[in-house]
Structures are given as C-alpha cells and as structure tokens.
Amino acid sequence: MKVRVLVSFKDSILDPQGKTVKHSLHTLGYDFVDEVRQGKVFELELKGISREKAEKIIPEITDKVLANPIIEKFSFEIMD
Amino acid sequence: MKFGVVVFPGSNCDSDTLYVAKEVFNQEAEFLWHKDHDLKNSDCIILPGGFSYGDYLRSGAIARFSPLMKEVRKFALDGGLVLGICNGFQILLELGLLPGAMLRNKNLKFLCQHVNIRIDNTDTPFTLAGNLGQVLNIPIAHFDGNYYIDNNGFNDLNKQDQIVFRYSEPNGNLSKKSNVNGSTNSIAGLINKNGNVLGMMPHPERASEAILGSDDGRVIFESIIQFINREKNLENPC
C-alpha cells in the first residue's frame, strides 16, 4: 500500500522559502500567483497492514517523526 | 568535574568542545558515542554543534532517537546539567526538553559570524559567573536558528524567566538588525523550567581563547564548573 504524506508549515508560520519562490515567479511575469507555501512530500510503502490500521498509524508516525507539530501540519492520502 | 561530550555522526564541534573543557579549563572530559548507553559519570552533558545526520528531515530530528539520548533525557529529568550548543540546541527542541522549534534564518542564508548576545538571566548554573546585562561577543554558525514559539509559550518563558541570552547590539540594546536570524524576541538561548537544561545557538567553545578573537564564551564554562564544584562541596563537606 502506497501512502503519500504532505508536510507543510502551519498557516501561522512565516515561510520565507515560499515567499522567495513567489517572488521569482512574479519576476518571470506570473504575477497571478498570489501565495506559495513550500513543504515536503513523503512516499511510504506499507506492507502487512490493513487500510484501517494505516489510517490510524500514519498520523502517529507523522507527529512523532515526519513533522514537527509545533510548526508543521500534515495531510495524507492512501494511493491504492 | 567531568564533562561528557556527545558525538553523533555529523557532529563537528565535538573536538573543540572537548579541547576547551580539557585544555583551557583543565577539567576531565570524555566523548560519549551516540550508540552507547553510558554517560560515564559525567557531571555535565554537552550536545555539541554540527550537522548530526546531515540535518536530514529537520535539524536535530534524527539525533534525538539515538540510544544515548534516552540516557541524556533521564539524566536531564533527574536534574543533571545539559548544555546544547547550536545543533545541540536544535536536538533539545526536537527532544522536547526545551519548548519551541527552529525555523530557517529569516534571510535564508547560512550565518557564520560573530554576534553580540546579552545575558538576561544570571540565576542559572550556566551563567552564574556572568553579570546581568553583560554583552558577550560569540560566533554563530547556523542555517536554522530562527527560534519560534507561539504566544502562549512565549508568555510562559517570560513568566518563568527562561530566556537566558538575547541577540543584541554591542551596547546591549535590542534591534531588528541585531536579531540576525529573526528569532522570536531576539532569543539566542533559553533554559528549561527546572533550570538545568540550556540551549543556545552561539558557540561559546569557539570563543574561549583571546587568540581566536574573543574569550567571552569562557563565562559559560566557568559558571558550570563553579556550580558543579559548589554542589560537590555540599555533598562532601571537608
């Protein structure tokens, strides 16, 4: 089972990298880009675990390892 | 007294720290390998600067799972002195022994320069030999030193007098310019509620001999040594 976990800064946290990317997009003329937030993607391959169990365990491992809950939020999708 | 300097793969200030403890201050000091389980009777554990595990995932995020860190956590919760310098500070935050988190520097640049930090609390084992408001000239070298804590957390820090160092001008004034990395309230170093775990971004071990440009970092080592020796004298009078 493939799971994609998306980690990004919470809305309350400034993201200077995203801002810089936005700025360079504007420089190229794409000035309709109103906001850029940069994050990380993790692709996990799980085996020997039910979909139901995965849905429970992924928030746990994300909180423990993949993200720092003080500054980051996450979402995930089970791909198959 | 004895310092224990923890070594992770990617630590690069471990030797400097050990050198300062041993050669500059004539104290006992030993490396502690991150895979071991033994703190070797150290009185003060130092998590040195560097790039443990290549800063993969987040700075300090992987190092906290090292076997030795279980012992360090226990030691800290029992009141033992733990000093985290730079990457060591980041590890203490990831471990949850100190509150808050590190973000990338506000200008997105790796900063390697001397800065001024003001001592805002001398009632700690790490600063007792200093003076309140004293300004220290100490180098920093980091990418992720932009300290973040939310409003509630910040109020807590203030209430408990946990902010120990702030980036400042040479005269001690705080300014936007002196807050080089954009940290909340110019915070350069803070201590836990129990007053035995300190994290700081500047490198006192790189400022312990005048020939290297500044020996202002000595006050941190001097404080620790005084504190431990005083405790030992209390344990064994005469």
- Using the Cβ of B143 and the Cβ atoms of chain A, whether some distance falls under 8 Å is answered with no
Strands B28-33 and B101-103: unpaired
**pLDDT class for B208, splitting at 50, 70, 90?**
very high
**Active site members of B:** 86, 203, 205
**pLDDT class for B84, splitting at 50, 70, 90?**
very high
Q: What is the pLDDT of residue B30?
A: 98
Which residue on chain A is closest to B181 by alpha carbon? A16
How many Cβ atoms from other residues are within 10 Å of residue B227's Cβ?
21
What residues of chain B lie within 8 A of the CB of A70, using their CB? 100-101, 148-150
CB contact under 8 A, A70 and B101: yes
CB B44, CB B224: distance < 8 Å: yes
CATH number among 3.40.50.300, 3.90.190.20, 3.40.50.880, 3.40.50.80, domain B2-235: 3.40.50.880
Q: Is B73 helix (H, G, I), strand (E, B) or coil?
A: helix
Average pLDDT, chain B: 96
What residues of chain B lie within 8 A of the CB of A14, using their CB? 103, 106
CB B197, CB B155: distance < 8 Å: no
CB contact under 8 A, B100 and A68: no
CB contact under 8 A, A17 and B104: yes
What is the phi-psi region of residue B37: left when phi exceeds 0, alpha when psi lies from -120 to 50, beta otherwise?
Answer: alpha
- List b or e across B45-60, with b for residues whose CB sees 16 or more CB atoms inside 10 angstroms: bbbbbbbbbebebbbb
Q: Is residue B210 predicted with pLDDT exceeding 70?
A: yes
- List b or e across B164-173, with b for residues whose CB sees 16 or more CB atoms inside 10 angstroms: bbbbbeeebe
Q: What is the pLDDT of residue B217?
A: 98
The structural domains of chain B, with segments of one domain joined by +, span 2-235
Chain B interface disruption, residue of A62, A70, A72, most B CBs within 10 A:
A70
What residues of chain B lie within 8 A of the CB of A20, using their CB? 108
What is the phi-psi region of residue A23: left when phi exceeds 0, alpha when psi lies from -120 to 50, beta otherwise?
Answer: alpha
- Using the Cβ of B193 and the Cβ atoms of chain A, whether some distance falls under 8 Å is answered with no
Q: What percent of chain B is predicted at pLDDT more than 70?
A: 99
CB contact under 8 A, A65 and B106: no
Q: What is the pLDDT of residue B235?
A: 80
> Which residue from B138, B93, B140 is spatially nearest to B119, judged by alpha carbons?
B138
Average pLDDT over residues B162-175: 98
Give the span between the Cα atoms of A29 and B149, in whole angstroms. 36
Q: What is the pLDDT of residue B131?
A: 98
Q: How far is B84 from chain A (nearest CA, A)?
A: 19
| A72's tokens | 């980051």
Q: How large is the ipTM?
A: 0.84
Q: Is residue B204 predicted with pLDDT exceeding 80?
A: yes
| Chain B residues 42-61 with CB within 8 Å of chain A | 57-58, 61
Q: How far is B106 from chain A (nearest CA, A)?
A: 7
| Residue of A16, A66, A70 lying closest to B106 (CB–CB) | A16
CB contact under 8 A, A68 and B103: no
Summarize pLDDT for B103-133 with one digit per residue, the tens.
999 999 999 999 999 999 999 999 999 999 9
Those residues of chain A that have pLDDT short of 70 are none
Q: What is the pLDDT of residue B238?
A: 60
Q: Is residue B237 predicted with pLDDT exceeding 80?
A: no
CB contact under 8 A, B148 and A12: no
- Numbered residues of chain A with Cβ closer than 8 Å to any chain B Cβ: 12-14, 16-17, 20, 65-66, 68, 70-71
Average pLDDT over residues B17-31: 98
What residues of chain B lie within 8 A of the CB of A65, using their CB? 57, 61
Q: What is the pLDDT of residue B234?
A: 86
Summarize pLDDT for B50-81 with one digit per residue, the tens.
999 999 999 999 999 999 999 999 999 999 99
Q: Which domains does chain A have, with CATH numbers?
A: 2-78 (3.30.1280.10)
Q: What is the pLDDT of residue A80?
A: 78
